Amino acid sequence: MSAAGIAAEVAAGRVTAREVVREALARIAEADPSVRAFDSVWPARALEYAAAVDRAVGDGERLPLAGVPLGVKATQRLSAPSVARLVAAGCVPVGATATPGPGTPWQTWGMTDRGRTLNPLRPDLSPGGSSAGSAAAVAAGMVPLATGSDGAGSVRIPAAWCAVLGLKPTGGLLPLPGSPPGRPRRSVPGPLARTATDTAACFAALTGTSASAPGPPERPLRTAWSATLGCADTRQPVAATARAFLDELARTGAVAPRPAAVRLPDAADCWRTLRARRPPGTAAGPEGGTAAGPAAAAAADRTGAELAAELDRVFAAVDLLATPTTPNPPHGHHGPGEDMSVALTWAFNITGHPAISLPAGRTGAGEPVGLQLVAAHGREAELLAVAAAAETVPGPH
């Protein structure tokens, strides 16, 4: 059942949050030994949270996500503002979802003490990362919602490879503990879900706004398509699959693809330099970055300004920018090799633009592909409207 469906049933008293959570725990017990989406599961704690939801509903309190089982990314705490807001809306955290283990490439997979996290759609392929377990848990139907964080594509990439929805909100809109002071844009919390309605409900709870089921756009949104952004080495089957899905979206009337020359500077050095800008006493990240020197910092500032200027130009002419979510299909469990799975995502962490990954179908080899849509700052509603329209496209995607 969807998160919206669960919340409606619990609010109406047709089912209790405890019953919903027991069913979710049973699904996890059945599916997770093979998928390994969860680093840890919290049955007793989850049932305590569920009992509190039932008491609140019984007292007449309106909880927009009453009784919805929630996977929590292992790097986030229950006290994190984004998680706390979802719990306040009625979500029931049931466990910590897997993230990369020590010494593993941070952007491409998850690891538990029982082994590597598998992709529920293709167990021979990576689920993506770093919100690997969250995407896998949602894709496998263990939970309808899970939290993630996106510093370079860590919500959107696993969403693409597990064929679920992953939203990266506008930079700075939501607080993320541990973000360097004065630089709130790069890493942001974001939800993973199976439906546009659930994604919108989660986003509303995170932002403290009223939730309503998103409908298709009132007019076709002008959409620029770029398979490479002028800097990525995108594989032809991935580009073709994503573009075909965009064309299907156009047939629904949600988008109107426009020819556009989009050429962003390569964000790699800029992103790595920004990551290395960490406050004194802060541990280095998975890449072992150190403080950036003055020349590197100045170059990063120039690249950031160039990215912002080019995207300002793009969004002066169109409503949305569409790309494949990743330039390559999901890699195997041997690792990414030379692939840069973040090449189409991390620029928007630097500039703070909101973006969503939608399931776009599969390549001829059966590899899941995502379509990334990017909007101007604060225009998440347009992304969610197109996500709603995407659900009317026939066929598996």
Residue 197 CA to residue 156 CA, distance in Å, equals: 17
Cα–Cα distance, 324 to 135 (Å, whole number): 18
| Contact predicate 322/223, CB 8 Å | yes
Q: By three-state DSSP, how is residue 71 classified?
A: strand
**Spatial distance between the Cα atoms of 88 and 91, rounded to a whole number of angstroms:** 7
> Does an H or E element contain 302, and which?
helix 294-317
Q: Which two tokens stand for residue 336?
A: 């990414």
Q: Do 174 and 82 meet the contact criterion of CB atoms below 8 Å apart?
A: yes
The answer to whether 127 and 161 have CB atoms below 8 angstroms apart is yes
Catalytic residue (one of 82, 126, 130, 226) = 130
CA 195 vs CA 12, 385, 388, 391: distances in Å: 21, 12, 8, 8
Q: Which residues pair with 92 in a beta bridge?
A: 69
Q: How many residues does the chain have?
A: 397
Instruction: Report the alpha-carbon distance of residue 312 to residue 303 in Å, rounded.
Output: 14
Residues 82, 131, 154, 341: which is the catalytic one?
154
Angle CA 202–204–207, to nearest 5: 110
CA distance 189 to 352: 12
Spell out the residues 6+ positions from residue 170 whose beta carbon is closer than 8 angstroms to its own: 188, 352, 353, 354, 377, 378, 380
Tell me, yes or no, if 168 is annotated catalytic.
no
* Element containing residue 190 per DSSP (H, E): strand 188-193
- Cβ–Cβ < 8 Å for 38, 70: no
Closest CA to 154 of 124, 117, 205, 191: 191
Task: Supply the residues annotated as catalytic.
Answer: 73, 130, 154
